[in-house]
Chains A and B, each alone.
Chain A
Amino acid sequence: MDSGLHLVAGLDWGALPQNLILAIGLGAVYALIALGYTMVYGVLKLINFAHSEVFMLGAYTALFTSYWLGFSPEALQQASRESNWLNLLMMLLASMVFCAVVGVIIEFFAYRPMRDQPRIASLITAIGVSLLIQYGGALVLPVSPPPSINEAVNPYRGSIPVQLIAQNPALAAEAAKAKEAFDVADAAFQEQMKAERSEFDLSPRGLELRTAKQVAERNYRTVRKKAEDSGRELSIPKGQMIMFGTTVMLMAVLTWLVLKTRTGRAMRAASHDFDTASLMGISVNRIVTITFIIGSALAGAGAMMQATFIGTPLTTFYAVSLGVKAFVAAVLGGIGNIPGAVLGGMLMALAETLVVWMGKSEWKDAIAFVILIVVLLFRPGGLLGSAKVEKV
């Protein structure tokens, strides 16, 4: 049995900063999806179950755009290509526009006729739309084998190393020396190899040289590991940084839109009180459409970045669990609350990454709900939301 103390002692504290960086990228995706849920809920009080399917369609749009730009598997087989940021931008815009269109269509055909009906009826419609897109999409979209966006389209591969603690100079020097010795042994072995018939049938001299090379290599690896452990290096994946940056930018635009523009004010009014807003001359239909455009476009952006920078294989069902977690994130932050959605998304990603870091990755999906239930029991309105007291 492992006790709590044992658990803490077994942790790899050195790997923590690296994990936190990974959480940022995931958190950005959760936040972008959660914003869509929270905005629609804020205005319509509807859990838009089809939102994760909009996200899924966004990922497919990004995939097809990348094919169109010449990064399909067939095209890449004939000639490898280098990509640039323009391709990524085009994929991003295509996803956002397509998702916005899909969101508006869903709202018009499935949710608008249900607006005067009990909310449970619209919820069932939402589940229906979600299932329809999942299974209907599987009829026409490529699902097996699951396609994924080729990483050639992403010019920002790899990561930036950042040195936190410099390596111990003595150990570093030792490592350099060990490397030299290994290089010499390796060169001698390679020289001998030219005279040998095959690697599996060596002469005594060849065997000796190979053993020497292997010893030198092992020594070099041990010393290098020691040197590396004396210092601490972080590698920051470029893709994650771009995801985070784009999310922050979109968030800033959204905040400006909601807080500073006329449309934003109308949106807040509709969210506060739908009927009164319409009496005050706000065209609520227009506001709902705009809400769906923004929410779906954000999901599209999240989908494109997730599919490109994290590189998930796509099926029409892949967004379901992502969507549920993002919705949980929105509730966690206080549904209907825009900063709450971002906070919830980040927390959710953080909790998940920490669980994986603790070596309990099989509990990754449960942690989201545990946090949610605990938070809701103590703050029924979510972290940033306020629980309304029912008046008689």
Chain B
Amino acid sequence: MNWPIRIGSIVLAIVVCFGIQYLATTMLKSDGQRLVALAGLYVTLAVSLNMINGITGQFSIGHAAFYCVGAYIAGFVSLRFFQAQPLQPVLWLVVMMVLGAAAACVAGFVVGLPSLRLRGDYLAIVTLGFGEIIRIVIQNTKELGGAYALDKIPAIREIWLVWLLAIVTIAVSRNLLKTARGLAFLAVREDEVASSAMGVNVTQIKVTAFVLGSAFAGAAGALLAHYETSILPTTFSMDVSFIILTMVVLGGSGSITGSALAAVSLFYLPEYLRSQPPVSGASLAAAVIVIVAVVAVLRRIQHHYHGTVAKKVGLYIGSIVGGVVAKLILGALFGLIPAFAKASYTGDKLRMVIFAGTLIIVMLLRPQGIFAHHEFSWTLIRRLYDKVRGKGAQGAPA
């Protein structure tokens, strides 16, 4: 059908990847480059978890396990055979990605099987348990480095490949939803019993979702192993699973755009805060009080104000501006108390606090996630624009 458009978008994707690589290598130091690569990996992880959680409606909170399997298999094989093989490093990396993906597929299949019997929270805790078991098994296997790092993995650092994987993951998710088979995934999410009555093979769909999602995580793991050159079992702890899950839910469960954008922003938020100057205790206390108050006010406006959209947005902005002013005044007042003024907190210590606070605030104000179930499209933007202009209130646009 639209072959020119298809080929065009593939070329565009590759160009974008090399563009990212070019920008990162020319403008950033090695730390910054590493962050760009890790951000790409998190996009892959979030979008692939979104396939399991958001699109198919299964409740997996052990995604780091697949990441871990991919990383360790690829790292182990590379460590043994990289010197003896004839391939170019980049090609070898691609082979390792395939290997990592295959190993993670097997793990995904094993974890996916209980999902046939278990639902909701029970499935969640089993996936969490699988993740922990895999981590502990690695910790107790001497050949994989045990509790110490598996290191001296050959370094093959290709940022473009990382982002290409991210784009491929996004493309596969998106195209899946455009096919009849993809609709079956959505049907399983909405109602298992009903979709099975409609002839959907629920078992197959669920296991496919797990296998597909874990394959991408495994490939991401292989890239991580070759980028970092040394991996630890604790790199893949429960916290990582939780952070990936948070990216999916915060972006909006089921929304690919949401997962990808939330992955980038949630990954960069703590890294950005790490380098921030220290904050005084007075300022911190004032900020906490004001944030709680502003969130309460915003929630009130959200639920109890029934004016036009434009006015509502005005009220939102007004209360945020008011909050900033109140914070400055309170901060100055608290500064008069010596104990408050003396205490000082570095950005490095505060970053996870702010991360956690952001999660809670976003969930309180927008429980369906930033993008809810929407995807990015020009139509969506026009509709939003119309809504703010007040046309949406009259109920017209299609």
**Which single member of A125, A335, A365 contacts B359 (CB below 8 Å)?**
A125
Does B15 touch A at the CB level, under 8 Å?
A: no
Q: Which residues of chain B are near A123, meaning CB under 8 Å?
A: 249
Contact of B360 among A120, A132, A376, A377 (CB under 8 A): A132
Q: Report if B139 contacts A (CB, 8 A).
A: yes
The 0/1 profile, CB within 8 Å of B marked 1, for residues 31-56 of chain A is 00000000001000101000000000
User: Residue A121 at the B interface, CB < 8 A?
Assistant: yes
A352–B350 Cα gap in the complex (Å)? 36
Partner of A129, one of B133, B197, B360: B360
| Residues of B close to A368: CB separation below 8 A | 129
Alpha-carbon gap, A368 to B114, bound state (A)? 17
Q: Does B22 contact A (CB under 8 A)?
A: no
Q: Which of A114, A120, A125, A139 has the most CB of B within 10 A?
A: A120
Task: Please name all residues of chain B whose beta carbon is closer than 8 Å to the beta carbon of A362 when the two chains form the complex.
Answer: 136, 139-140
Chain B positions 182-224 with a Cβ under 8 Å from a chain A Cβ: 192-194, 197
Q: Does B265 contact A (CB under 8 A)?
A: no
The reply to whether B246 and A124 form a contact with Cβ atoms under 8 Å apart is yes
A135 to B133, CA, bound (A): 26
User: Is A121 in contact with B249, judged by CB distance below 8 angstroms?
Assistant: yes
Residue contact A363 to B140, C-beta cutoff 8 Å: yes
The verdict on A124 contacting B114 (CB below 8 Å), with A328-B129, A363-B136 known, is: no
**Is A73 in the interface zone, CB < 8 Å from B?**
no
The smallest beta-carbon distance between A116 and chain B, in angstroms, is 9
CB distance from B398 to the nearest CB of A (A): 27
Is B353 in contact with chain A by the CB < 8 A criterion?
yes
Please tell me if A331 contacts chain B, counting CB pairs below 8 Å.
yes
A110 vs B362: C-alpha distance when bound (angstroms): 11
Task: List residues 326-371 of chain B with CB under 8 A from any CB of chain A.
Answer: 345, 349-350, 352-353, 355-360, 363-364, 367-369
Contact A131 B355 (CB under 8 A): yes
Question: A76-125: which have CB < 8 Å to B?
Answer: 109-110, 113-114, 117-118, 120-125
* A264 in the interface (beta carbon within 8 A): no
A120 to B194, CA, bound (A): 22
Q: Please indicate the chain B residues that have their CB under 8 angstroms from the CB of A237 in the complex.
A: none
* In the complex, number of A-B residue pairs with CB atoms less than 8 Å apart: 126
Across the interface, do A365 and B132 meet the contact criterion of CB distance under 8 Å?
yes
Q: Name the one of B126, B192, B349, B359 contacting A138, with C-beta atoms under 8 angstroms.
A: B349
Cβ-based interface call for A127 (8 A)? yes
From B192, B299, B364, B368, A125 is in contact (CB under 8 Å) with B364
A12 interface hit (Cβ, 8 Å): no
Instruction: Name the interface size band of chain A.
Output: 35 or more
Q: Is the CB of A373 within 8 A of B363?
A: no
Q: Is B122 interfacial (CB-CB < 8 Å)?
A: yes
Given the interface pairs A131-B359, A366-B137, the reply to whether A113 lies near B249 with Cβ below 8 Å is no
Q: Are B363 and A121 in contact (CB under 8 A)?
A: yes
CB within 8 Å of B: which A335-380 residues: 335, 362-363, 365-366, 368-370, 372-373, 376-377, 380
In A317-342, the 8 Å CB interface with B consists of 320, 324, 327-328, 331, 335
Prevailing SS type, chain B contact patch: helix
Establish whether residues B364 and A114, one from each chain, have CB atoms under 8 Å apart when the complex forms. Answer: yes
User: Contacts A324-B238, A369-B129; is A377 near B117 (CB within 8 Å)?
Assistant: yes
Residues of A within 8 A of B355 (CB): 131
* Cβ-defined partner of B245 (8 Å) among A124, A130, A139, A335: A124
Q: What residue of chain B has the Cβ atom nearest to residue A116's Cβ?
A: B367
Interface string of A137-151 (1 = CB under 8 A from B): 011000000000000
Known: A117-B367, A362-B140, A392-B193. A131 touches B125 (CB 8 A): no
A201 interface residue per 8 A CB criterion: no
Query: Is A376 within 8 A of B122, CB to CB?
Result: yes
B108-142 contacts to A, CB under 8 A, are 114, 117-118, 121-122, 124-126, 128-130, 132-133, 136-137, 139-140
The answer to whether the Cβ of B59 comes within 8 Å of any Cβ in the partner chain is yes
Our pick among A128, A138, A363 for the contact of B363 (Cβ within 8 Å) is A128
Q: Are B245 and A135 in contact (CB under 8 A)?
A: no
Of all chain B residues, the one with the shortest Cβ separation from A131 is B356
- Say whether A74 faces chain B, with CB atoms less than 8 Å apart: no
A131-B139 in contact (CB<8A): no
Q: Is the CB of B126 within 8 A of A120?
A: no
Q: Is the CB of A110 within 8 A of B360?
A: yes
Residues of chain A within 8 A (CB-CB) of B129 are: 328, 368-370, 372-373
A136 sits at the interface (CB 8 A): yes
A114 near B363: Cβ-Cβ < 8 Å: yes
CB of A139 within 8 A of CB of B246, answer no
Any B CB within 8 A of the CB of A390: yes
In the complex, are the beta carbons of A124 and B249 less than 8 A apart? yes
* Inter-chain contact A139/B350, CB cutoff 8 Å: yes
Complex contact A373–B356 (CB within 8 A) = no
Q: Tell me whether A136 and B114 are in contact (CB under 8 A).
A: no
Establish whether residues B360 and A125, one from each chain, have CB atoms under 8 Å apart when the complex forms.
yes
- The answer to whether A129 and B364 touch across the interface, beta carbons within 8 angstroms, is no
What's the Cα separation between A376 and B245 when bound, in Å?
Answer: 23
The answer to the question of B76 belonging to the interface, with a C-beta cut-off of 8 Å to chain A, is no
Binding site for B on A (CB under 8 A): 41, 45, 47, 109-110, 113-114, 117-118, 120-125, 127-132, 134-136, 138-139, 320, 324, 327-328, 331, 335, 362-363, 365-366, 368-370, 372-373, 376-377, 380, 390, 392
Sorted nearest first, the 5 A-B pairs with minimum C-beta distance are: A369-B129, A128-B359, A131-B356, A117-B367, A132-B356
> 7 A-B Cβ contacts within 8 A?
A109-B292, A128-B359, A129-B360, A131-B352, A135-B352, A331-B122, A366-B133
